[in-house]
Structure 1
Amino acid sequence: MATTAQHVDPILASVLQRRVDAIAKEMATMLMRSSRSPIFNEIGDLVTVLFDAKGRALAQAEFAAIIAFGAQPPLEYIIDYFGDDIADGDVILHNDVFTGGNQNADTGIYLPIFHDGELVAWAAAKGHMADIGGMTLGGYNPQAREIWQEALRITPVKVYSGGTLRKDVWDLVGANIRIDFVMQDIQSMVGACTIGKRRLLQVLNRYGLGAFRAHMDYVLDGSEQQVRAEVAKWPDGVYHGESWMVSDGVDPGARYRIACEVRIEGDEITFDFSATDDQSPGIANMPPASAKGAVRIVFLMLIAAGGVVIPTNQGLFAPLSTVFREGSLLNPRFPAATIFGNQMCDEVLEAIMNALADALPDRVTAGWNQFICTSLNGVDPRTDDPFVTLTVFQRSGPGAMRGTDGWDAFGFTGTAGQMRSPDPEMFELTSPHFLEYHEYLSDSAGAGQWRGGIGTRSAWRCYGRDEIGVTIGDDVISEGAEAAKGLFGGLDAGRNDIRIERPDGTTHVWGSKELVPLPQGAVVRARSGGGAGYGNPHLRPVDLVLREVRDGLVSPERARADYGVAVVTGPDGAVRVDQETTSVLRNVNGATNR
């Protein structure tokens, strides 16, 4: 039944909200199932979004949240750039970080949706391309000093005009990309947006444009009201926090401060990073679209910690403002290199959580282990074709929060836990590597009444020809990085360590932003630390500590030293708690034995 634009039915509004959400998810499913790159179809390093005609987000499927929350700035630029020069059948390609992009490798397709000749919405798909030009296959190279060395810079350009492929533009882009299937992945993105267009037009034809707009305005307003009500509960004030990035890809010993001032005034909140250090000379800079996306991820965590479920749309971020000083790490001046920027989501999160720890102790988390993985590229000797792969199965742990342990092997903060690890067999089939092991890393999490998430240990053997690897991270023991910090008596987390065992018997300790050759037969061994703990470890239930010792997550030595739980093995081989010793250990530290 059609509804007039003047009348809003709350039930229909809920139906339409879930419908656009389902469309965004269908777009993502279509993209993953039709794409060629394992970065898309295995890892899910992508997003799909529906916007209204003004560029307001209606719904999104954020497999990689840092991209999803950074998808809007390019559209704002595109709308302003083309003005009225937008027609039905146009398809716009974009990746440029100096015109709204979050990372050059994260390339986007933006497709306008017309209804009865009127622009009514946009469908968008963004994903991490296996290659997008630049000096290095795959894009990651710490030796880059400017954007042109990192990627083909794609400012908004129509690859389809009025439904017709612009072959000259298409061939120009393809001529700058080393891997053929990247262009096929772009076609998959166009297909995903086309699905979004078809599905949305079905909704408009059924309910009418006026009714759709009225009800989506109602949904966005409802989200805004919900989130403002949550922020209004938070104590007004000005709060400060900081985090540190170690190494900039030029100087392994360099340290950069990411500083955040959080201002809460009624139902408004501002995240001001003006005091953050100046931009680095290398790749370790974060474009403002990426920084804004990182802030939104953390803000969403704080909101969700209150148990409130709010649709992920434009209204969710209405009370939020961000400030990034030009020339700083989070808003570098042109033509800075920025390929590492998305990874700095870790520091943004840590700075905000540190700032709000005392003000919002029930919502913040203890320190997260800063994520590190590798980008591997070379020639696959089985096919003589170039390959690029990301080892995102290297999973670190998030920090605990009051009432909840950190999730085990969660991974990168910028993906909000939704980007997947590749299937081990697919990793071996699509790149010349053999995965020796991938498992939880015992004693990697910081102890606490609620412990941090467990990290992982991984190893793989390299068989690529002319293979090089680049570490993507900023927290390794060898560079003096500090462990993620526990909160309110919780203990610090474990740290990352990654090493290359070469066929000649030598070992190389791999830095956090370092490009190295990987000879055939080399083995990479990676240890990813867990998250930090929250609260006094001696208040953790004894039976839970015993269970984790039995499961191999905590060693008997750490159970005794960190949790005050004496675990012994009897003559029959059974593992049990020595209650008398445990009582003494816990009472000495002023905690009840429970």
Structure 2
Amino acid sequence: MVDPVTLAVIQAGLQQVCDEMDLTFSRAAFSPVIAEADDRSDGIYSAEDGSLIAQGSKGLPVFVGVMQFSTRTLIERIAAGVTAAPEPGDIYIVNDPYLGGTHLMDVRFAMPVWRQGRIWCWLSNTGHWPDTGGMVPGGFSASAISAEQEGLRLPPVKLFKKGVLDAEIWAIICSNIRVSDQRIGDVKAQASALMVGAERLAALLDRYGDGTVGAAVAQMRDLAARQMRAKLALIPEGRYRATAVIDSDGVVNAPLIIALAVTRAGERLVFDFSGSSLPCAGPMNSVRATTLSSVYLAVRHVFPDVPISAGAFEPLEVVGIEGTFLDAHYPRPVSGCAAEVSQRIAEAVFAALVQAIPDRVTAAPAGTSGNFGLGGTDPETGAGYVMYQISGGGYGGFAGGDGISNGCSTIGISKAPPVEIMEQKYPVLYRRYALHEGSGGAGQYRGGFGLDYEIELLRGMARASFVMDHGRVGPQGVLGGGDGAVNRVEIHRQGAPVLVPEHLSKAQDIVLQAGDRVRVRTPGGGGYGAPADRDPARVAEDLALGRYGTAEAARLWPGKP
């Protein structure tokens, strides 16, 4: 048994190791989506089964469970002789969604940490590469019907052998992705983050001893499990039902349904997705690892003070996903799983739990990452480029306050890259970048506002693709609150009518010429509580600041200024 003070210091030390890996990765990366948007995560995982020991506080929450599953799969494949056994200095690369992953653009590295001739733990990280091949620049193919159309799929292989980059494997990767000459910066950053982590972890182990740190890890897991069970006791026993709707799968223009029943019985919380839609033709399927991780991150939103550890997941059980689009198998396309489907899963969890503990759960957030890919060749430089844009949206209202405006996605802390950086790197000009005012759902506490941006292509020709959501139905309000505004995507061409994609929030291979513009208005959050109960002073403030027009306010809050 490790004494409480030493336990707290070791726990903070492990967290610091992960945070330093995160910072190293972002600061050394080439791509804006990693260097500026922080679409990455780092963690420490058990040598025995890959279970989560610690993860960076600045990493994407959706990767909390995903890297645990991918590391476990790697360990199992090594034990079975399918994947080559590790040696000191080896780093594995994998992006296969069906081996505990997300979509192909989320590329994972894993490196064993050796102590006295044996593996003490694994360090792993994930970075969103701007492109991994496939039908469209950026990988977000809205109408892919197979995994091969989405990009290069890598099983776990050694990219670094004894500390040296394998030139042959790297050549294979570069031959199958766009702007490959730019990826080496991200690869070196990703590997460097793991090496920094190994150095910092070795210092911690040297200071306290391998045995003491190992005992502390076991106590941390047990403590997290007990803390989560204590939190679950706050939920009244019973069964709570909710649904969430996905616009379409990008191929068949019909909604997909996530049906959820949450049951609190004793010390367990069971999430039953029976009755959800069948596997779909397009890329809005989700793999098992992403589905489970989406549930975990949703619960962490509700109980954020439970320490990040595999123990926190032990009281949570997910059932009923077999045979649905939430448990995709090869060759189902899955590019929308991590960025979009995961957020609909979290929305369903929120909608169920708000019935049980309304003081701890918000109305639905915007729930889309706003994936926008643009690829072409800049005639000024002759160089090819792949631009990837993510965007924020409104958070839902909650007991005691309005939702945040232009917050990051439900699944992570990723933020939109600075406009100035994007304009420097790509032949685009942002004509508009503002709040999507009026987009928050009405309520006693209204939803936050989404983002309204417009991008103009300055030079050459480019191909645009979108995989977004909430274009058909806005984020749902709760306890009498109104829904947030829907996601709106428009293509503005010179002398031509405005184009709205058939699937509203999903389209691919839209050809843009110089002077064409893309305008996106992301959703606002859902409203919380009856609009009639809103404080008149809050209504007056919204009107005075121009957040809502007078006519709209009269509709939303009748009888109040």
Instruction: Output the TM-score relative to the length of structure 1.
Output: 0.89
User: C-alpha separation between the residues in 2 aligned to 1:182 and 1:326?
Assistant: 36
Alpha-carbon distance between aligned partners in 1 of 2:547 and 2:139, rounded to the nearest angstrom: 36
Whether contact under 8 Å (1:400, 1:533) holds in the other structure is: yes
Residue 391 of structure 1 is matched in structure 2 by: 389
| C-alpha contact (below 8 Å) 1:146/1:335 kept by paired residues | yes
Q: Is the 8 A contact 1:283 1:339 kept in 2?
A: yes
**Cα deviation code 1:179-203 (max 9, x no counterpart):** 2222331221111001000100011
What is the aligned counterpart of 1:353 among 341, 350, 354? 350
Alignment-derived partner of residue 427 in structure 2? 432
| Correspondence 1:174-213 to 2 at 5 A | 174-179=174-179, 180-213=181-214
1:405 aligns with 2:408: no
Is 1:144 aligned with 2:138? no
Preserved contact between residue 104 and residue 153 of structure 1 (Cα < 8 Å): yes
Match 2:66 to one of 56, 67, 70: 70
What is the match of residue 315 of structure 1?
311
Provide the residue aligned with 2:122 in structure 1: 122
Contact 2:395 2:407 in 1 (8 A): yes
Output the amino acid matched with 1:503: Q
In 2, Cα distance between equivalents of 1:137 and 1:526 = 19
Equivalent residues in 2 for 1:34-73 (5 A)?
Answer: 34-54=28-48, 55-61=50-56, 62-73=58-69
- Residue 27 (structure 1) aligns with: 21
CA deviation string 1:500-523 (max 9, x = no partner): 110233321133111111222101
Matched position secondary structure for 1:241: strand
Q: 1:210 to 1:543 in 2, by over 3 A?
A: same
- Identify which range, 216-225 or 99-108, moves more after superposition: 216-225
Structure 1 residue 341 displacement after superposition:
1.0
**Counterpart selection for 2:380 from 371, 379, 382:** 382
Give the structure 2 partner of residue 488 of structure 1: 479
Q: Specify which of 524, 527, 542 is matched with residue 521 of structure 2.
A: 527
CA radius of gyration, larger in: 1
Q: How far, CA to CA, are the matches of 1:173 and 1:327 in structure 2? A: 33
Distance of 1:277 and 1:319 partners within structure 2 = 26
1:542 maps to which residue? Answer: 536
Q: Is the 8 A contact 1:103 1:290 kept in 2?
A: no
Superposed counterparts of 1:269-308, under 5 Å? 269-304=269-304
Mapped pair 1:366 → 2:363? yes
CA contact (8 A) 1:559 1:565 kept: no
**Is the CA contact (8 Å cut-off) linking 2:51 and 2:72 kept in structure 1?**
no
Q: How does 1:416-455 map onto structure 2 within 5 Å?
A: 418-455=413-450
Residues in 1 aligned to 2:475 and 2:159: alpha-carbon distance in whole angstroms: 45
- The change in CA–CA distance for 1:466 and 1:327 in structure 2 (over 3 A counts) is farther
User: Which of 499, 505, 510 is 1:512 aligned to?
Assistant: 505
* Identical amino acids, percent of aligned pairs: 29
How big is the shift at 1:565?
6.1
**Aligned AA (1:117):** G
The structure-2 alpha-carbon separation of the partners of 1:86 and 1:317, relative to structure 1 and needing over 3 Å to count, comes to same
Paired residues, number: 549
- Rounded to whole Å, the distance in 2 between the matches of 1:249 and 1:564 is 39
Deviations 1:252-282 (A, max 9, x none): 3x12111112121111112122321111111
1:302-360 CA-to-partner distances (Å, cap 9, x unmatched) read 223xxxx2221212212112225334211123211111111112221222223233222
Counterpart CA distance in 2 for 1:443 and 1:548 is 9
Residue 458 of structure 1 corresponds to: 453
* Separation (CA, whole Å) in 1 of partners of 2:446 and 2:293: 27
Within 2, Cα distance between the matches of 1:505 and 1:77?
51
Task: Supply the distance in 1 between the matched residues of 2:242 and 2:411 (Cα, whole angstroms).
Answer: 19
Equivalent positions of 1:74-113 (< 5 A) are: 74-83=70-79, 85-113=85-113
- With normalisation by structure 2, the TM-score equals 0.94
Which sections of structure 1, spanning at least 5 residues, go unmatched?
Answer: 1-6, 568-594
Tell me the residue number matched to 2:331: 335
- Greater alpha carbon shift after TM alignment, 462-471 vs 68-77: 462-471
In the other structure, the counterpart of 1:474 is 469
Residue 526 of structure 1: CA displacement? 1.8
Comparing 320-329 and 43-52, the one that deviates more: 320-329
Shift of 1:56: 2.1
| Alignment-derived partner of residue 590 in structure 1 | none
Could you tell me which amino acid in structure 2 is paired with residue 412 of structure 1? Answer: S
Give the letter for the 1:368 counterpart. Answer: P
User: Structure 2: which 5+ residue stretches go unaligned?
Assistant: none
1:500 and 2:491 are equivalent in the alignment: yes
Residue 8 of structure 1 corresponds to: 2
Encode CA deviations 1:351-387: one digit per residue, 9 max, x unaligned: 2223233222222222333423411111223322222
CA contact (8 A) 1:375 1:389 kept: yes
Letter in 2 for 1:513: K
Q: Deviations over 1:474-524 (max 9, x none)?
A: 222xxxx12323222222211121111102333211331111112221011
Measured in 2, the distance between the counterparts of 1:102 and 1:503 equals: 38
Off by >6 Å, runs of 4+ in structure 1: none
Contact 2:69 2:100 in 1 (8 A): yes
Shift in CA distance, 566/241, structure 1 to aligned 2, threshold 3 Å: closer
Structure 2 contact 487–505 (Cα < 8 Å) conserved: no
Q: Secondary structure at the match of 1:159?
A: strand
1:91 CA drift (Å) = 0.6
* Among 340, 344, 351, the residue aligned to 2:341: 344
Question: 1:224 offset after TM fit, Å?
Answer: 1.4
Write the distance in 2 (CA, Å) between the matches of 1:383 and 1:68: 40
**Aligned residue identity for 1:495:** V
